Amino acid sequence: MNRDGSVGAVAEALGLHRNTVRYRMQQISELSGYDPNVTSDRVQLWIALSALELG
């Protein structure tokens, strides 16, 4: 899903409230040490998730 970092677009696509998406983004940041709102961190997270999918 490509929503260009738009919290509103992600919330709408997932049927969630915007604050729920923001909370989950905060949780990702706290658990991983990477902030999904920062482009370079978002790239690192994407690479890590892609590597997991490859097995």
**Three-point CA angle 23, 25, 18, nearest 5°:** 55
- pLDDT confidence of residue 5: 77
- pLDDT confidence of residue 9: 94
pTM of the full structure: 0.78
Q: How far apart are CA 40 and CA 34, in angstroms?
A: 9
Kindly give the confidence (pLDDT) of every residue in the chain, 55 residues in length, as a single tens digit, with 9 standing for 90 and above.
677 779 999 999 999 999 999 999 999 999 999 999 899 999 999 999 999 999 8
Residue 15 backbone zone (phi > 0: left; psi -120 to 50: alpha; other: beta): left
Distance of CA 6 to the CA centre of its chain: 10
